[in-house]
Chains A and B, each alone.
Chain A
Amino acid sequence: MADKTLTRMDLAEAVHKEVGLSRNDSADLVESVLRHISDALVRGETVKISSFGTFSVREKAARVGRNPKTGEEVPIHPRRVLTFRSSHLMKDRVAAGNKG
């Protein structure tokens, strides 16, 4: 495993190299993509990106949790959580690339 961490900067660099836009414009576009996906999710929409994966928002009901340290009961309020389901293409590529 290579074990490197990529950031927004690396994604912008890829856009800069691939499309030839300036690094600044490339960074803005990376930000736009993340913002549009986030905004749709906040509106409660499912975001389905073919050959990448699906982001969906799930409603979790209220339940009683417990502080694991003190054993004290604490109410957990109903909340919305985000789940990501990768596409078959992504699963296959990640499995193949990390084999052996």
Chain B
Amino acid sequence: MKFRGGHNLLLQGRPDGMIKLMPEPDVLYLPLRSRRFSFAELCVEEGQQVNGGDVLARDLDNYSVPLLAPRAGRVFLNEQEGHIVLKDVARHAGHADIEDEDLPHIAQEMGASGIKRYRLLTLGAWQFFYDAYSGELPDPLGRPQAIIVSTLSLEPFLARGDAQLHNRLLNFTRGLEQLQSLLEYQPIYLVMPDIKSEFANLIRNHIRGYASVKMLEIPLTYPYDDFSILVRRLGLKRSEGPVWSVRTEGVLAVDRALTLSKPSLVRIISIGGTGIKNPTHISVMPGYPIQRIRDKYIFEPVSRIINGGILTGEQLGPDSLGLDTECRGLTVLPELQEREFLGFIRPGWDRSSYAACFLSSLRDKFRERLSTGLHGEGRPCVSCNFCEDVCPAGITPHLIHKYLYRDLIEEVEQARVDLCIECGLCSYVCPSKIDLRSQIIDSKALIAQEKEEIRKEQLRQEELRKQEEARKQAEENIE
């Protein structure tokens, strides 16, 4: 496969391959919002006792994806804004399964594969699936043209597939077989860093005869593991149906849900970044109090905690108390506070840059210690074209920036701003410190809104026309 653009950031604080257990919490703070979901429909009452695996809330806009209770405990709804608080937390075997009386009804409606899909949804495995084109949650009852399984996470620093797969290869291959059973003859693409490795051969031997998996080798450059990039490079057409995409974790959750009928309540997330003492992976449940992780791992007093990776994650404010259900990793960066004396003429032995303007380009690749500093003042665009060079989607960020400056929305649309995958590399390399990523995201939203308005207007006019016709018809009838 041919890729374009991309750039690897080498930073200090890469998590090691270990998985550490965190102590069981007494209280869980389950956020009602995450990147894709908003669990607005509450299914429990204040003070109710729940078991691990019970449904606490649902997101009705996203095929009723459930928010499962990771542990048994007592529910408090109004204690913290935007959170469901679970107190007196105790470890109990999860029991959630489809109620027996529901089964015949579902089987009648959706068939055998329908039951499996229903199980994925109710046991919390479905939330690991993404639509490769839009990044949204796909329809669980839809018919995908392919499934992309990625074992990679190239953004620093998200949970690594190899760490999550540790000792669980069997579960992974069983999960792949389960995925295959959801399909008719559509292919599964398995994205790996090295398809000739022993590990890849092991997977091949395991699934031989059970699943038709095509292995794809992709270079380890950020953000080639992005699903919308992969789907474009694979040449899959949107008109031929959705493409489901899922990461290692999702396959393991599928295995758990379909083979063992158990919900996936614990996740393996990474904690990394310059502000972490021992960057590693931890095994935690959603709702785990951030303060406890903070006490144990974070050593920088003034630091920024990011939910997700360095380039696309969201900053966690003081009002977010627990991990959300979609968290793939926490990244901690020290906040820049000091002003550097004559910063721009320093040799820069320890700073690496996309432009080879520092002395560090003479040395081997190294992991750099970075903070949240902007490293310069905002300036007008000088058309250095760095942003276009790194853009993996093949669009021209600086041109879109200039169009936006002149309010040329139609041209922005023509420049295919919708192909942007929001990887953040353009903002990263910009020497003029223009926040291209957020400008592009804003313009995408603006265009979507305008399209929606146009569609509504068309519907309204259609309605009017129909009414007019009906009226004329009625008049004619009278005549």
Pair from one complex: no
